């Protein structure tokens, strides 16, 4: 959006809508795949395409750090089955994930919704699933100050299901830090919550 100046009256005109360059990219894409971008059904598509990419790439997860001073005497906190969508950085196609996050609070406990906010923040960029779980674990560790953090994700990638090998499959990736590093009851409990049944 730009504001122009009227030379005659010396007043500022109403802001002009400038076209998002992403609209031109969408038009060109439509032409390249043999479509007519001016046909009725497609007229608004470049603008929608631009809005969706801006929404994806400029996503704001909001405040992810509210915590409360509650004495938890070493208990584990696990937030399971956070559903999210991300975009594969190789093909720009979506993948969905069910993410489970666990940590052992040191002092303060993090607000429940903040785990989903953190997960969505890192999903809203071009990703691979292995890096997604690491990014989430890094931020949970940084915000809570806890060395005991685990993140497990199970996802389906459209780049594998709908194109290429065309085989739906479940990918699992995980990060286990601190107390979760060792195979034992704590890790088993996490796995049981992340993958019920």
Ligand X SMILES: Nc1nc2c(ncn2[C@@H]2O[C@H](COP(=O)(O)OP(=O)(O)OP(=O)(O)O)[C@@H](O)[C@H]2O)c(=O)[nH]1
Smallest gap from Cβ 93 to ligand X, in A, equals 8
Q: What, of Zn ion, ligand X, none, does residue 164 touch, CB below 5 to 8 Å by kind? A: ligand X
Options 54-62, 124-132, 141-149, 187-195: segment touching ligand X (CB under 6 A): 124-132
90 is catalytic: yes
Options 24-32, 67-75, 128-136, 141-149: segment touching ligand X (CB under 6 A): 128-136
Q: Which residue in 44, 55, 89, 130 is the catalytic one?
A: 89
Does residue 160 touch ligand X according to CB under 6 A? yes
Does residue 130 touch ligand X according to CB under 6 A? yes
> Would you give the end-to-end CA distance of the chain in angstroms?
53
Return the half-sphere exposure (C-beta side, CA atoms, 13 A cut-off) of residue 169. Answer: 9
Size of the site for ligand X (CB under 6 A): 10
Angle at 129 between CA 102 and CA 94, to 5 degrees: 120
d(CA 174, CA 60): 25
Other beta carbons within 10 angstroms of residue 82's beta carbon come to 20
Q: What is the DSSP letter of 12?
A: B
Contact between 150 and 175 (Cβ < 8 Å): yes
129 is catalytic: yes
d(CA 22, CA 18): 12
88 is catalytic: yes
Binding interface with ligand X (CB under 6 A)? 88, 90, 128-130, 157, 159-160, 164-165
Binding interface with Zn ion (CB under 5 A)? 88, 90-91, 159
């Amino acid at each position: 959006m730009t504001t122009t100046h009227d030379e005659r009256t010396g007043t500022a005109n109403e802001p002009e809508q400038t076209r998002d360059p992403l609209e031109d990219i969408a038009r060109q894409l439509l032409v390249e795949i043999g479509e007519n971008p001016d046909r009725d059904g497609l007229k608004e598509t470049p603008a929608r395409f631009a809005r969706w990419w801006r929404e994806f790439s400029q996503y704001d997860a909001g405040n992810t750090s509210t915590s409360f001073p509650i004495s938890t005497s070493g208990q584990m906190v696990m937030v399971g089955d956070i559903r999210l969508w991300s975009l594969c950085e190789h093909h720009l196609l979506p993948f969905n994930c069910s993410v489970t996050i666990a940590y052992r609070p040191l002092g303060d406990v993090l607000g429940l919704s903040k785990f989903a906010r953190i997960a969505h923040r890192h999903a809203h960029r071009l990703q691979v699933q292995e890096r997604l779980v690491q990014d989430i674990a890094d931020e949970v560790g940084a915000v809570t100050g806890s060395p005991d953090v685990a993140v497990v994700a199970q996802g389906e990638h459209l780049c594998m299901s709908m194109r290429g090998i065309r085989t739906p499959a479940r990918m699992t990736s995980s990060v286990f830090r601190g107390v979760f590093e060792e195979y034992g009851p704590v890790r088993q409990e996490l796995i049981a919550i992340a993958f019920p049944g």
